[in-house]
């Protein structure tokens, strides 16, 4: 078999794809997949003042929000999507329009205009004690904070403050489930998935950073 012919045919096939607008074809397919209810995990990249985030939703609600990269960790969309494919469904497709309501609320929140998210949450990535803790976290109002110990107590185990910290770290939908409102007993912000700077900035935005830390 002649290599030249092989090469020409390969090139011909690449050319063939080029006669139809691939991006348009892809968009048309994604729209149809949406219409037919075949997109079980829809995701989109969402901008924030702290950098790009990734948000994913199922028919039950927001299932995952991956915080922006920071000095301590990098947002790796491929890994996030692979995890969703394994844990929820491999029918994962980019569908920015389906995430529009989430994007709007997040924008308003970062602008200081929205104090309570009105978005359904799909809790399926939170298991066991994490799920218990995060349901308590979800009830902490804007501008208020609780310590890890207090959250642990509300989740039914006052001594499990370390486990409460771990649960917050494993929060699949930060911001919407506001684990940034869980702080150290001293009032210091403590750790955060988006980095300590982001947590501090969020508390400042909500007016709940203790005066001595401002």
Partner 1 sequence: MATLPPFQELLDEHGRDVLGFLVASVGPSDAEDLFQETLIAALRSYPGLTHARNLRSWLLTIAHNKAIDHHRAGSRRPLPSGSAEEVGGHRGEVDTGIEAASERGLWRIVGVLPAKQRSAVLLRFAGDMSYARIGELLDSSADAARRNVHEGLKKLRGELA
SS3 content of the chain, % helix, strand, coil (to 5): 45, 10, 40
Catalytic (active site) residue 168: no
- Angle 161-169/128-137 helices, nearest 10 degrees? 80
Contact between 176 and partner 1 (CB under 8 A)? Answer: no
| C-alpha to C-alpha distance for 194 and 75, rounded to whole angstroms | 9
- Say which of 95, 176, 179, 201 is annotated catalytic: 179
Q: Which stretch binds partner 1 (CB under 8 A): 19-27, 47-55, 100-108, 168-176?
A: 19-27
Contact between 153 and partner 1 (CB under 8 A)? Answer: no
Give min distance, CB of 18 to partner 1, in A.
Answer: 7
Q: Which helix (H) or strand (E) holds 85?
A: helix 77-87
User: First-to-last CA distance in the chain?
Assistant: 73
Contact between 32 and partner 1 (CB under 8 A)? Answer: yes
Give min distance, CB of 78 to partner 1, in A.
Answer: 8
Q: Please count the residues of this chain forming the interface with partner 1, following the rule CB under 8 A.
A: 41
Q: Tell me, what DSSP letter sits at residue 73?
A: B
Token representation of residue 56? 């994913």
Burial of 156 per CB tally in 10 Å (0-12, 13-18, 19+)? exposed
For partner 1, the binding residues in 82-111 under the rule CB under 8 A are 82, 84-86, 89-94
189, 209 Cβ separation under 8 angstroms: yes
Nearer to partner 1, 90 or 156 (CB): 90
Alpha helices of 127-211 — where are they, by DSSP H? 128-137, 148-154, 161-169, 196-205
Nearer to partner 1, 78 or 118 (CB): 78
Contact between 15 and partner 1 (CB under 8 A)? Answer: yes
Contact between 11 and partner 1 (CB under 8 A)? Answer: yes
- Partners of 41 in beta bridges: 92
Nearer to partner 1, 84 or 202 (CB): 84
Token representation of residue 64? 């995952």
Contact between 27 and partner 1 (CB under 8 A)? Answer: no
Tell me the per-residue interface mask from 37 to 66 with partner 1, x by CB under 8 A, - otherwise. -x--x-x-----------------------
Give min distance, CB of 130 to partner 1, in A.
Answer: 23
| Sites of contact with partner 1 (CB under 8 A) | 1-2, 5-6, 8-20, 22, 24-26, 28-29, 32-33, 36, 38, 41, 43, 78, 81-82, 84-86, 89-94
């Amino acid at each position: 078999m002649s290599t030249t012919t092989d090469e020409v045919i390969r090139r011909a096939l690449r050319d063939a794809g080029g006669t139809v607008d691939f991006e348009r074809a892809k968009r048309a397919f994604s729209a149809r997949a949406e219409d037919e209810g075949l997109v079980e995990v829809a995701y989109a990249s969402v901008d924030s003042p702290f950098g790009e985030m990734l948000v994913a939703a199922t028919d039950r609600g927001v299932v995952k929000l991956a915080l922006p990269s920071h000095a301590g960790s990098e947002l790796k969309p491929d890994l996030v999507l692979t995890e969703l494919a394994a844990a929820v469904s491999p029918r994962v497709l980019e569908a920015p329009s389906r995430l529009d309501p989430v994007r709007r609320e997040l924008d308003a929140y970062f602008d200081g205009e929205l104090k309570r998210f009105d978005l359904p949450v799909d809790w399926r990535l939170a298991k066991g004690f994490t799920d218990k803790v995060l349901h308590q976290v979800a009830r902490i109002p804007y501008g208020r904070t609780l310590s890890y110990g207090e959250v642990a107590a509300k989740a039914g185990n006052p001594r499990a403050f370390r486990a409460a910290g771990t649960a917050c770290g494993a929060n699949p939908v930060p911001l919407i489930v506001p684990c940034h409102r869980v702080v150290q007993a001293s009032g210091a912000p403590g750790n955060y998935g988006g980095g300590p700077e982001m947590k501090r900035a969020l508390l400042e935005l909500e007016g709940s950073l203790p005066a001595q830390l401002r």
